[in-house]
């Protein structure tokens, strides 16, 4: 099993990255191969709407820092997206990546029963950390993306939301989060490599 992780925070060791790495650590214990991309450290562009991925090529033509991340994601079994909540959404870094997964959609995807170029449907872990302590705030983020993720080729999306974490390290005081994250890794990976 291959697990690819997109880290969307500018804090390399912030709350969202800490949770994501915990998932990867447990996935490795069950034999998974893991690869992480710290998006903030890459030279990245948003989608240019050139539509060449629909007219002439089968993948994104931009040759920037996101190209290897898209390629790795294409071949992954499980994808982890981790982001802080910024102004009620994912970070700009992760949003740029998500927009570029448009290149995974086939031409005329709206009318197709199989809109995605991903042949094997993948699992997605969607990690969001937020400063606000009320879980009702920003609960709309995943539902807004979920149908699009399904089109893109993710059969299952499992959210891990952590509220009331503001400073880097705040999540370290939340053992419940780490227990749930480890349990998810075990559920999705145990047995696969046994």
Ligand X SMILES: Cc1cc2nc3c(=O)[nH]c(=O)nc-3n(C[C@H](O)[C@H](O)[C@H](O)COP(=O)(O)O)c2cc1C
Contacts with ligand X, residue ranges (CB under 6 A): 9, 11, 14-17, 84-88, 129-132, 138, 165-166, 168
Q: In terms of CB distance, is 14 or 115 closer to ligand X?
A: 14
Please, which residue, 116 or 130, has the CB nearer to ligand X?
130
Nearer to ligand X among residue 121 and residue 144 (C-beta): 144
Give the Cα separation of 20 and 114 in Å (integer). Answer: 30
Look at residue 108 and give its three-state secondary structure: coil
* Shortest Cβ 16–ligand X spacing (Å): 3
| Cα separation, 131 vs 161, whole angstroms | 11
CA distance 8 to 83: 5
| DSSP assignment letter at 106 | P
Q: How far is the CB of 187 from ligand X (least distance, A)?
A: 24
Q: Which is nearer to ligand X, 94 or 189 (CB)?
A: 94
Nearest distance from C-beta of residue 70 to ligand X, angstroms:
22
Cβ 91 to ligand X, closest distance in Å?
8
Q: Nearest-CB residue to ligand X?
A: 14
Report the alpha-carbon distance of residue 108 to residue 59 in Å, rounded. 15
Q: How near is the Cβ of 50 to ligand X at its closest, in Å?
A: 29
Residue 114: partners with Cβ closer than 8 Å, 6 or more residues away: 106
Q: Which is nearer to ligand X, 25 or 54 (CB)?
A: 25
In total, the chain counts a number of residues equal to 194
The rounded radius of gyration (Å) of the Cα atoms in the chain is: 16
End-to-end CA distance of the chain: 11
């Amino acid at each position: 099993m291959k697990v690819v992780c997109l880290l969307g925070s500018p804090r390399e060791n912030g709350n969202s990255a800490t949770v994501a790495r915990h998932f990867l650590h447990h996935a490795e214990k069950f034999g998974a191969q893991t690869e992480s991309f710290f998006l903030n450290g890459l030279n990245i562009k948003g989608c240019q709407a050139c539509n060449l991925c629909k007219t002439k090529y089968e993948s994104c033509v931009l040759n920037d820092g996101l190209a290897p991340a898209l390629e790795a994601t294409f071949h992954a079994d499980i994808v982890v997206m981790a982001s802080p909540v910024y102004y009620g959404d994912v970070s700009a870094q992760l949003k740029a990546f998500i927009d570029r997964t448009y290149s995974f959609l086939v031409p005329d995807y709206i009318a197709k029963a199989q809109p995605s170029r991903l042949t094997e449907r993948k699992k997605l872990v969607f990690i969001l950390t937020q400063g606000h302590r009320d879980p009702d705030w920003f609960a709309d983020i995943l539902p807004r993306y979920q149908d699009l993720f399904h089109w893109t080729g993710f059969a299952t999306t499992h959210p891990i939301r952590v509220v009331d974490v503001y400073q880097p390290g705040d999540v370290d005081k939340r053992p419940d989060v780490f227990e749930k994250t480890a349990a998810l890794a075990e559920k999705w990976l145990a047995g696969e490599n046994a």
